[in-house]
């Protein structure tokens, strides 16, 4: 008898709970939870930031004449309009017939997470992609064509400040080993980096 009474009470309780859940009244809506913060990306922070913005209108000063000729470029370099109020600079070496031997293009970004954006892109189709460091600063090195001595080096000099060195060569030695263009490009990027003033 006692067992039947307990069973009846449990059944009644279940019906009441089910009726409460099925009633037309609803509880106050639960406020939406904020989206979780994105996980920290693989681009490390910069420990000793350098001020790209301070040189945004003077890009051709980021290689000294001695450095430029040491890398085999002619003087003077050529300045051109860049992005978002910056200027770009190109150093090049040409033959007497004005055929390009080698060149480097310098582009600066003063308020853009360039490396984070570059890393987030789908880079599976690239023949070369490397997250690395240049002179202790985060860098991404890419090549878009396996057969051409052409390398792109993005360097993060400070938070939301970076520069890109695009190095290309038509020299036979690098044509036979196009990956070597990235090693030359890294050396140029390191020189540019050291010529940026420290960020206060």
Please give the Cα distance from 194 to 179 (Å, whole number).
24
Q: How far apart are CA 113 and CA 36, in angstroms?
A: 20
Note the pLDDT of residue 34: 43
SS3 of 40, please? coil
Q: Which two tokens stand for residue 172?
A: 């036979």
Among 19-28, 37-46, 68-77, 123-132, which is the least confidently predicted range? 19-28
CATH of domain 53-195: 3.40.1000
Q: Look at 13-22, 76-85, 134-143, 167-176 and tell me which has the smallest mean pLDDT.
A: 13-22
Return the beta strands (E) in the chain as ranges.
Answer: 78-81, 87-94, 100-109, 128-134, 137-143, 150-158, 161-169
Residue 42 tokens, joined: 């693989």
CA-based Rg of the chain, rounded to a whole angstrom? 29
pLDDT band with cut points at 50, 70 and 90 for residue 75: very high
Residue 14 — pLDDT band, cuts 50, 70, 90?
Answer: very low
pLDDT digits (tens, 9 = 90+) for 120-134: 988 888 999 999 999
The reply to whether the predicted model has a pTM over 0.75 is yes
- pLDDT of 28 reads 44
Segment 100-124 mean pLDDT: 93
* Domain ranges across the chain: 53-195
DSSP string spanning 84-110? TT-EEEEEEEE-TT--EEEEEEEEEES
């Amino acid at each position: 008898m006692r067992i039947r009474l307990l069973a009846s009470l449990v059944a009644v309780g279940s019906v009441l709970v089910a009726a409460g859940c099925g009633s037309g009244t609803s509880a106050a809506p639960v406020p939406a939870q904020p989206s979780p913060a994105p996980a920290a990306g693989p681009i490390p922070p910069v420990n000793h930031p350098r001020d790209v913005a301070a040189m945004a209108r003077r890009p051709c000063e980021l290689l000294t004449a001695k450095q430029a000729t040491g890398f085999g470029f002619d003087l003077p370099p050529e300045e051109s309009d860049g992005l978002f109020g910056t200027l770009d600079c190109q150093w090049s070496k040409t033959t007497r017939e004005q055929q390009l031997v080698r060149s480097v293009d310098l582009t600066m970004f003063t308020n853009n997470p360039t490396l984070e954006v570059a890393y987030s892109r789908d880079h599976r189709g690239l023949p070369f992609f490397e997250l690395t460091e240049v002179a202790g600063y985060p860098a991404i090195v890419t090549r878009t064509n396996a057969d051409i001595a052409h390398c792109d080096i993005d360097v993060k000099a400070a938070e939301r400040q970076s520069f890109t060195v695009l190095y290309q060569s038509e020299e036979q030695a690098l044509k036979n080993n196009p990956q070597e263009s990235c090693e030359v490009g890294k050396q140029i990027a390191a020189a540019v980096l050291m010529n940026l003033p420290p960020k206060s």
